[in-house]
């Protein structure tokens, strides 16, 4: 469709069939387009399916036609060659070291409950979330006093570590366990954080 039928006949997209017929006669008098082009435009606008296509293409055609006559000679220039930079030579080794460090952080450590608690809180504050998750998970699993202040603090830090470490589902699940907590402040905090996490 080189020209849009609406532009050929000079009618709007809301034109009735009677208006299209009148526009055909005027277009013939103007002789701006060949008779076969005008007849084709009339045929398109009289058929519902083809008129829908014309409606869709009307805003698209001008940019397409402009692109058609654009200077594309720059595309014929040779493709630039790709050269690897020297600073990326040790990239594989750096990735391997990072993965090894992450693995070590997830390994079980022979620490007491108080050491797990202290190390987990410190790691969370320092933004070392994988290590914080490991310490705090181990602490919460082994801690017998689930209503103690330290257990509650560890749980809150673990929620933050899950959130910042990209484990949003775990953060939401753990936060939901605090919604029915007996302490009203904990209850209110859990509801507030859960609303933020759920977004």
- CATH 1.10.287, the chain: domain bounds: 5-69
| Residues 104 and 111: beta-carbon distance below 8 Å | no
19 vs 25: CA distance, rounded Å: 10
Closest CA to 147 of 189, 181, 192: 181
Per-residue pLDDT band at 73 (split at 50, 70, 90): low
- Looking at residue 185, what is its pLDDT? 84
- CATH 1.25.40.10, the chain: domain bounds: 109-198
DSSP 67-110: HHTS--GGGGSPPPPP---GGGTTHHHHHHHHHHHHHHHHS---
Structural tokens at position 95: 């990735």
Q: CATH homologous superfamily for 109-198?
A: Tetratricopeptide repeat domain (1.25.40.10)
- Looking at residue 50, what is its pLDDT? 77
For 55-75, what is the mean pLDDT? 55
Convert the pLDDT of each residue in 10-41 to its tens digit: 888 788 888 888 988 898 888 888 888 888 88
5-69 — its CATH code? 1.10.287
């Amino acid at each position: 469709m080189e020209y849009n039928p609406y532009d050929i006949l000079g009618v709007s997209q809301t034109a009735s069939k009677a208006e299209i017929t009148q526009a055909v006669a005027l277009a013939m008098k103007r002789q701006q387009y060949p008779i076969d082009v005008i007849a084709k435009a009339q045929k398109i606008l009289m058929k519902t399916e083809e008129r829908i296509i014309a409606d869709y293409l009307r805003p698209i055609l001008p940019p397409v036609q402009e692109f058609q006559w654009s200077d594309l000679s720059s595309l014929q220039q040779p493709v630039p060659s790709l050269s690897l930079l020297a600073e990326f030579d040790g990239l594989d080794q750096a990735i391997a070291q990072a993965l090894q460090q992450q693995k070590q952080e997830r390994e079980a450590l022979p620490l007491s409950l108080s050491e797990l608690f202290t190390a987990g809180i410190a790691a969370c504050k320092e933004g070392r979330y994988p290590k914080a998750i490991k310490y705090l998970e181990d602490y919460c699993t082994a801690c017998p006093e689930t209503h103690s202040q330290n257990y509650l603090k560890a749980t809150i830090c673990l929620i933050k570590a899950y959130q910042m470490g990209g484990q949003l589902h775990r953060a939401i699940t753990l936060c939901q366990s605090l919604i029915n907590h007996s302490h009203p402040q904990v209850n209110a905090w859990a509801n507030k954080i859960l609303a933020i996490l759920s977004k």
